[in-house]
Structure 1
Amino acid sequence: MSPLSSYRRLIALAGPAYVAVAFLGRLPLAMSQLGTLLLVSDATGRYTAGGLAAGALAVANAIGAPVAGAIADRFGQRPVVLAQSLAAGVGLTVLVAAVDAGLATPLLVAAAAAAGLAMPQVGPLARTRWRPITHRTGAHQRRLVDAAFSYEGAADEASFVLGPALVGVGAVALSPSGALLAAAALLIVFGSWFALHPTARLAHTLRPDTTSGSRRFVTSAFLALALAQLLIGVIFGATQTGTTALATAEGRPGLAGLVHALLGVGSVLAGLATAALPERFGYQRRILVFAGALLVLSAPLLLVGSLAALVPAVLVLGLAIAPYMISVFAAAEQLVPPSRVGAALTVLAGATGIGYAVGSGVAGRLADLGGHRPAFAVTVTAAAVALLAAAVRARATGGPGRRLRPSEPDQPAATTPGAMAAASQD
């Protein structure tokens, strides 16, 4: 089955509306951090205040998302994501009102944290739906799930390119407040639609029996995957900071966002192409190979001295990012018990956010001392650590070709006529 036919089959199984809704539902998360930064900075005249508010939103989301994922695993995605979408939409609106009212910075930071705590992680939760969606495809299921995870990785990258761009356009055409209110509206409409879509119930009713077997998923193998995602977050944060430092030094700080967006462009293209990788090229081996690619492709950042030279370097680096992330998420989905997939994937998403905060913070301090090259050195160091960690993990488990969970068959989840009827009636 070719990648193109796999993608067509996935759209036929889930429906075009679901694919569109799941993509639009993840845009508000990508918009909210930059939107908060611009809104609070513009209102207070201090980037420090804006950075604190945006950081509080990101960290609160990293903490709250795994909790929401665990609750969704227990009670289903529908009530959890619906409540989150409505609460976070209201939370962003309250943040705008608080800024308009001229409240003190600590209160603005608290409002931003509250909105971030409630915001759903649509991307990871969408990933958990694809195995139940493809449950009747028999021998093709593993290939289709691989393609689904490739698409989801590309969709995440696309959202983090398009989201900030929409914030920039909204801030210019309307205002920073208008941009954040647009994010709130998208969240209330498409986040709720994602919650209410029939696939939400399908994902909960067509899982294997969750009353038997271990519900524990925080193992050494899973922690290694969480570390991998944290390091990707460090790469994101450090690369964006280095790009900003270089653009500012050239007197064109406004170009920093556009140049950094090229990281996502390359990543989207590579993510979609990942579906063509053969099944025998297992996830653990992919993580090792793409970690090596991260190190090789990030090294040229240390040599760039202008934005013109940075453009191809960032674009090429993106080619390794999505395949690496896709492999990590797919490995986690196979590794953890089926009843804990939602919690596990949201933990990985939270680790990425924390890594971003660490990377941007460390790189920012180094950029203040020595410019863009020390900041990019953080990117290269994170890639080296990712490769070392992947190599150590491969050696500890008997080689990169070993399956993470040999006992897990690539077969559809057990279903019952009653479960199918309940899902189809929704």
Structure 2
Amino acid sequence: PLARVRWQPITRRAPDQRRLVDAAFSYEGAADEVSFVLGPATVGLLAVVVAPGDALLVAAGLLVAFGSWFALHPTAALTRPEPGAVRSDAPVITGVLVVLALAQMLIGMLFGATQTGSTVLATAAGEPGQAGLIHATLGVGSAIAGLAIAALPERIGYPTRMVASASALLVLSVPLLLVQTIGQLVAVIALLGFAVAPYMISNFAMAGSVVEPERVGTAMTLLAGATGIGYALGSTVAGRLADLGGHTPAFAVTVTATALALVLSLAFRARRGSSS
């Protein structure tokens, strides 16, 4: 959220602001997914080569150094309200924002359930240490798709993008119910990732466009928080089902989340229209 609130102020005076914001969200989504892949891989490698404690210290050092650099970057000042600016009396939580938060909660459930199912399958295959790397492959396709989103024409509205990516999530998640080996799982998860970033980028971009400028930070934080809640919920339900029946019931939670995401997207698009 601290990054996403900066794009609109940065592009405020640009004549093609929406195109630039779309490109910024696409880049940010791709960078986020790349870090999702490289972070666990790097720390995992350090844990094996050096020691788990040293790997944790390296991760903490990176967070302190680059997190502080980001916090102090001059663009942070652009998010402050102008002196004397009149704040909007519009409600912070709107119906649209609630729908987008639910959409993010469902994608969080996908993350949590998929990671749980991957861990169960890898453990059963005698390779529990591979679970993190398997789940990280989700970010490979997501990063590629995230960059490609910037090339979409503006006439394709966010609700339409949301429906298309939710449809892809459902179609690409169903094969999870059939996987029995780590190789099969890696292939399916890598393909599933291609639909993740477009869905999330559409949600966050819409959230930034439907609220008042001074409410963007609240909107982005709400969506990010909903994603975390979904992650916890997906992991919990999938873990319980995995205890009863292994990795396939856990992945059923992933498929259920994507099906609900598609239903929500279709209803949202029907209410707002494809060009909004």
Q: TM-score, normalised by structure 1?
A: 0.62
CA offset at residue 168 of structure 1? Answer: 1.3
Aligned amino acid, residue 42 of structure 2: L
CA offset at residue 368 of structure 1? Answer: 1.2
CA offset at residue 308 of structure 1? Answer: 1.7
Partner of 2:136: 261
How many residues align? The count is 276
Partner of 2:233: 358
Residues 1:324 and 2:199 aligned together: yes
CA offset at residue 199 of structure 1? Answer: 0.7
The whole-number CA distance in structure 2 between the counterparts of 1:247 and 1:161 is 18
The whole-number CA distance in structure 2 between the counterparts of 1:304 and 1:185 is 38
User: Deviation digits for residues 144-184 of structure 1, max 9, x if unmatched?
Assistant: 11000111111221222222223212323443332222232
User: Deviation digits for residues 88-140 of structure 1, max 9, x if unmatched?
Assistant: xxxxxxxxxxxxxxxxxxxxxxxxxxxxxxxxxxxx211111122223322x2
Aligned residues of 1:266 and 1:317 also touching (Cα < 8 A): yes
**Greater CA deviation, 176-185 or 367-376?**
176-185
Aligned residues of 1:215 and 1:340 also touching (Cα < 8 A): no
The whole-number CA distance in structure 2 between the counterparts of 1:186 and 1:230 is 28
The whole-number CA distance in structure 2 between the counterparts of 1:319 and 1:352 is 18
Quick one: which of 53, 59, 71 aligns to 1:195?
71
**Secondary structure of the structure 2 residue equivalent to 1:235:** helix
**1:202-281 aligned within 5 A:** 202-204=78-80, 210-281=85-156
The whole-number CA distance in structure 2 between the counterparts of 1:215 and 1:158 is 37
The whole-number CA distance in structure 2 between the counterparts of 1:301 and 1:175 is 33
**Secondary structure of the structure 1 residue equivalent to 2:80:** helix
Aligned amino acid, residue 214 of structure 1: D
**Secondary structure of the structure 2 residue equivalent to 1:125:** coil
Partner of 1:134: 11
The whole-number CA distance in structure 2 between the counterparts of 1:254 and 1:178 is 18
Partner of 1:92: none
| Greater relative contact order, per chain length (Cα 8 Å cut-off, separation 6+) | 2
Aligned amino acid, residue 239 of structure 2: G
CA offset at residue 188 of structure 1? Answer: 2.2
**Secondary structure of the structure 2 residue equivalent to 1:276:** coil
Partner of 1:171: 47
Distance 1:212 1:205, change over 3 A: closer
Quick one: which of 264, 267, 271 aligns to 1:389?
264
- State the 4+ residue runs in structure 1 displaced beyond 3 angstroms: none
Partner of 1:299: 174
The whole-number CA distance in structure 2 between the counterparts of 1:318 and 1:304 is 16
Quick one: which of 143, 146, 163 aligns to 2:19?
143
**1:66-215 aligned within 5 A:** 124-138=1-15, 140-204=16-80, 210-215=85-90
Identity percentage over the alignment? 63
Aligned amino acid, residue 247 of structure 1: A
CA offset at residue 194 of structure 1? Answer: 1.0
Aligned amino acid, residue 137 of structure 1: A
Aligned residues of 1:132 and 1:206 also touching (Cα < 8 A): no
Aligned amino acid, residue 114 of structure 2: T
User: Deviation digits for residues 279-315 of structure 1, max 9, x if unmatched?
Assistant: 0111111111111111111111111121121122111
Aligned amino acid, residue 54 of structure 2: G
Q: TM-score, normalised by structure 2?
A: 0.94
CA offset at residue 201 of structure 1? Answer: 0.7
User: Deviation digits for residues 372-402 of structure 1, max 9, x if unmatched?
Assistant: 11011000000001111111222233x3x14
The whole-number CA distance in structure 2 between the counterparts of 1:285 and 1:228 is 14
Aligned amino acid, residue 18 of structure 2: R
Aligned residues of 1:215 and 1:339 also touching (Cα < 8 A): no
Q: Structure 2: which 5+ runs fail to align?
A: none
